[in-house]
Amino acid sequence: MWSHLKLAAPLVCVSCLLLAAPQQRKTVSVLVSVKDKQGAPVPNLKEADFTIREEGKPQTIRSLVRADASPLSIVLLIDKSGSTHDSGREVTKAVDASLQFFRAVLQPGRDKVALVTFNSVVAKDQDFSEDLPRLFQVLVGTLTRPSWGGTALHDAIFGASTLLEGRPGRRFILLVGDGVDNASRLSLPEVIKIIQTADIEIITIWMPSPGPPGAIFSGNGASQGRESLKAIAEETGGRYFANTEIKELAKFSQEVGAQYLMEYQSTNPRLDDKFRKIRVEPVNRNYKVRHRTGYWAN
């Protein structure tokens, strides 16, 4: 009886130790852009140049590296639905600016672009490639065909995210459209959650589409579309551009070329599938940072 107790006691203690073992903390990655007062990217910053908080609680930065050392994958996502049929010239300008953006940020042999277009149906027109002349040819063929159908914007963003799934390094979606959605199965909050979970940054270019009187994309619909594109960009750490700001995309290429990848281990070990807000601040108050608003703990 005694010997049995002596054998059982260590087993109980081992169980207690296992139960008391600390949970593994989640490593969170945050892509950070930093600009000075003149809007120029700020190079050569270190961990000590930033502070980071999660839900208001200070976190310890584990590492900070220049993100331009990692591969870059971009999906060019273009709305070709009926709601954009009156904006052909504006869309062409946006596409030209996008191609210039690609030439500025892509490093040959490493970075790649894919093309996805959508109306009520989402189509992959070209898989990932660094062949920009070929991309331009495909674009010309796609954009010269008549526009038609509804607008499955949210489903298209989801489709673009599946193409980026598993690709190494930084992952972007460059979206050109009016922000209207009238044909998706996914809601805007649902698709934003998917993108935040996948850690994808979305750059949006708003193309106003007045359309015929009384159309769903005129009046308030157009305003709602613009606000949707702003929300998508902000929540994912990307940038929003109105059609009148297309030239700013060239400056943005410099910012993308000087991003930082920050990592920290969250002090909250619970994986409760809740959204946790992140706030990164520069020690130098003359600098301005941009990053995704948070992540989902799952």
Residue 43 placed within a domain: yes
**67-122: pLDDT as tens digits:** 988 999 999 999 998 777 666 677 888 888 999 999 999 999 999 999 999 999 99
The pLDDT assigned to 14 comes to 46
CATH number at residue 103: 3.40.50.410
Residues 189 and 129 placed together within one structural domain of the fold: yes
Residues 217 and 292 placed together within one structural domain of the fold: no
Looking at the 3D structure of the chain, how many domains does it have?
Answer: 2
Residues 43 and 182 placed together within one structural domain of the fold: no
Residues 252 and 275 placed together within one structural domain of the fold: no
Tokens of 230: 């702003």
Residue 6 placed within a domain: no
Residue 17 placed within a domain: no
Residues 60 and 97 placed together within one structural domain of the fold: no
Residue 1 placed within a domain: no
The pLDDT assigned to 211 comes to 52
- Domain span at residue 62 reads 23-68+259-296
- Spell out a b/e string for 2-35, using b for 16 or more CB atoms within 10 Å of the CB, else e: eeeeeeeeeeeeeeeeeeeeeeeebebebbbbbb
**142-153: pLDDT as tens digits:** 887 767 789 999
Residues 187 and 223 placed together within one structural domain of the fold: yes
Question: What is the rounded CA–CA span in Å between residue 188 and residue 232?
Answer: 8
Ramachandran bin of 211, using left for φ above 0, alpha for ψ from -120 to 50, beta for the remaining angles:
left
The pTM is what?
0.88
Residues 132 and 163 placed together within one structural domain of the fold: yes
The pLDDT assigned to 246 comes to 86
Residues 48 and 88 placed together within one structural domain of the fold: no
Residue 14 placed within a domain: no
Percent of the chain, pLDDT > 90? 70
Residues 123 and 35 placed together within one structural domain of the fold: no
**Res 5 pLDDT > 50:** no
Beta pairing, strands 275-282 & 294-296: antiparallel
Position 31, amino acid: L
- Dihedral (C-alpha) 263, 189, 172, 282: value to the nearest 10 degrees? -40
**171-206: pLDDT as tens digits:** 999 999 999 999 999 999 999 999 999 999 999 999
Residue 171 placed within a domain: yes
Residues 187 and 205 placed together within one structural domain of the fold: yes
Residues 49 and 118 placed together within one structural domain of the fold: no
**Res 232 pLDDT > 70:** yes
